[in-house]
Amino acid sequence: MTALQLFFLRHGETDWNAEGRLQGQQDIPLNALGRRQAAQAGRKLKKIFGAGGVPAVWQASPLTRTRDTMTLARAELGLPAAGVRLDDRLKEFTFGRWEGKTWPDVMALDPEGAAARDRDKWNFCPPGGESYAHLAERLRPWLAEQQPPTVVVSHGGVARALMHLIGGLPIERAPTADIWQGRVLVFSTGKFEWV
């Protein structure tokens, strides 16, 4: 791929986000704030695209929170809910047996695992789960298939993996990079920026 233009939206907030629970691949719906954030991201896309037309390719993780974010964002551009390709490779990485727990829960139940994750967040794999490194490998073939421009709605872990794969963010920094809801992360070859 010689050039890339990818417009990335993280799904809007869920109650589990608000409670600090590890969602992973659990199918948690948007809350009221998350629905507003999804519409806000759609308005940002509308400003970005202006009169130049919208991309033909729209893709999302198949989880409810991403599909609903996509539907609400597309509505702001006057686009129907249909016309979005769902791709399992865009799912969040799984936290395995840690899903549904808060970080204080994890530290109390699995202090050794929590400490190991703190030492190497990119490569650490929770019990029954995936690491950022696994997620990045899952995303590589998907990324190689992209024909720019494209709009993607996915998850925070996916955004961080793409920050490394596309923008070269070091693996030591990628797992702690800020990921926003209601904003657009614009990737182009070798770089990324939030708008």
CA 139/CA 163 separation, integer angstroms: 12
Instruction: Say if residues 113 and 126 touch (Cβ distance below 8 Å).
Output: yes
Task: Please give the C-alpha separations between residue 119 and each of 112, 137, 175, in angstroms, as whole numbers.
Answer: 11, 21, 12
Cis peptide before 55 (omega within 30 of 0): no
- Kindly give, in sequence order, each residue whose CB lies less than 8 Å from that of residue 32, ignoring residues fewer than 6 positions away: none
Choose, from 11, 99, 155, 164, the residue flagged as catalytic. 11
Identified catalytic residue from 92, 99, 155, 164: 92
Our answer to whether residue 92 is catalytic in this structure is yes
- φ/ψ of residue 161, rounded to 5: -65, -40
Task: Determine whether 11 is an active site residue.
Answer: yes
3-state helix vs strand vs coil in the chain, percent to 5: 45, 15, 40
| Residues classed as catalytic | 11, 92
